[in-house]
Amino acid sequence: VAKQYDAIATIAGDEGMVPFIDKAVAAGIPVATFNSETAKENQRLFFVGADLYLQGQSAGENMCKVLGNKGEVAIITGFFAVEAHELRRTGFEDALAKNCPEVKVVGKVENSDKGDIAYNQAKDFMTANPNLSAIYVTAGGPFGAAKAIEEAGKAGKVHMISFDFVDETMEYVQKGVIDGTIGQNPFAQ
């Protein structure tokens, strides 16, 4: 706003962005949001991106299929405070409850969107839950969790669903360690 840009495009990961978006619009600068949107209404001109709750539901429905409707799942999210991550998490959990109520969520942690943290968390989940069937990663760092699964020799035994088509993640999809990942095509956004 201070630099008087002609327009602003931004990711709106949580409602803390709303006052800044509204301030820019009030100053006559059109704002578009992409990739993630706040649940709280704002004055942005338009949003381009996926329905994040629906993404979580899709991940949950696919997890039910992968697990044959029974098992234990751990959830690793980027940040509990980021609305996009929470929408993916709640959509996932709602899909499990509706489609495969015998699948139990054994824990939920945040990894600050870091692969090395997800790696340690996945190891901890597998150690603490010897019957762990799957790990769901809502945001950044799925390759860290996949590395832990692979190193433990549990590929195909501990299933995994995640997000994004980044190279590190796709390597684990090709190896069969990650059962599925949902892409967003951020370049197109």
Query: Tens digit of pLDDT for each residue in 106-155?
Result: 999 999 999 999 999 999 999 999 999 999 999 988 999 999 999 999 99
pTM: 0.87
Query: Tens digit of pLDDT for each residue in 75-108?
Result: 999 999 888 899 999 999 999 999 999 999 999 9
116 in helix, strand or coil? helix
**Non-local CB neighbours of 29 within 8 Å, separated by 6+ positions:** 1, 4, 5, 6, 7, 8
